[in-house]
Amino acid sequence: MAEDGKEIFFGMDEEPVKDEPLTAEAEDAAKADAEAATGSAKEEAPAGPEDTEAAEESGEAQESAQDNSELAAELEEQKNRYIYLYAEYDNFRKRTLKEKENLYSDAVAKVTGEFLGVLDNIDRAIDSSKNADEGSIDAVIQGIEMVGKQAGEILTKIGVEEIPVERGTKFDPNLHEAVMHIEDEELGEQEVAQVFQKGYIYKERVIRHAVVQVAN
């Protein structure tokens, strides 16, 4: 409208231009453009504190899950290793026990075999003593002495030695066992007066202490 209040006309018909309503197609196009603009704005909008925190929590959850998976795999490996080592130890224990039993059995068989000859000679000495007379007593005694010598040789062969002790030997509680005490002017203090039973030692291990009488 002009300043003087008159309408301005365009076109040949000289009719005023009027606002016409949008068609359905135009409305749909406008709506689509608005939605596209809104989506683009959301994509371009910077992440807020809540979005950053959620992303961090998600990353921590993934890292924690990965750590748990690695720990589970390591635990399974350690479990398998333990089972293997236990089986190896059990086999070693059984094998060692079996070898120990075999060694003991072999030692018993070997020593017994050595002493069978002594037992045979003892039986012969007993038979001879039953038929002995005054003239054969000396022969019986000699036979028994030979048996004793044979037994001593066998002990020496397997490493067993007699503990050396005689009258006048200094008493040693590590080797001797005192069962009696007497006063004897011929002997010094804590000296052996009499040997009641021989003692034996294997290397540094005392098998049996010598049973003695100690003086003063």
What is the per-residue pLDDT across 11-20, written as a single tens digit (0 to 9) for each?
Answer: 444 444 444 4
Look up the pTM and report it. 0.52
Give the pLDDT confidence of 100-145 residue by residue, as tens digits. 888 888 888 988 998 999 999 988 888 888 877 777 888 888 888 9
The CA R_g of the chain, rounded to the nearest whole Å, is 58
Q: What is the DSSP code string of 2-58?
A: -TTSPPP-BTTTTBPP---PPPHHHHHHHHHHHHHHHHHHHHHSPP-HHHHHHHHHH
Instruction: Write down the pLDDT at residue 57.
Output: 65
CA distance 64 to 74: 15
Q: Which helix (H) or strand (E) element contains residue 108?
A: helix 49-130
Domains and CATH numbers, the chain: 67-158 (3.90.20.20), 161-216 (2.30.22.10)
Neighbour tally for 212: CB within 10 Å? 26
Query: Of 28-42, 126-140, 191-205, which range is least confident?
Result: 28-42
| CA distances, 179 to each of 22, 84, 117, 185 (Å) | 136, 57, 34, 19
| CA distances, 7 to each of 20, 21, 187 (Å) | 18, 22, 164
CA distance 6 to 16: 11
Mean pLDDT of 172-201: 94
| Per-residue pLDDT at 39 exceeds 80 | no
In the structure, what pLDDT confidence band is assigned to residue 29 with cuts at 50, 70 and 90?
low
Q: Which helix (H) or strand (E) element contains residue 215?
A: strand 210-215
**170: which DSSP letter?**
B
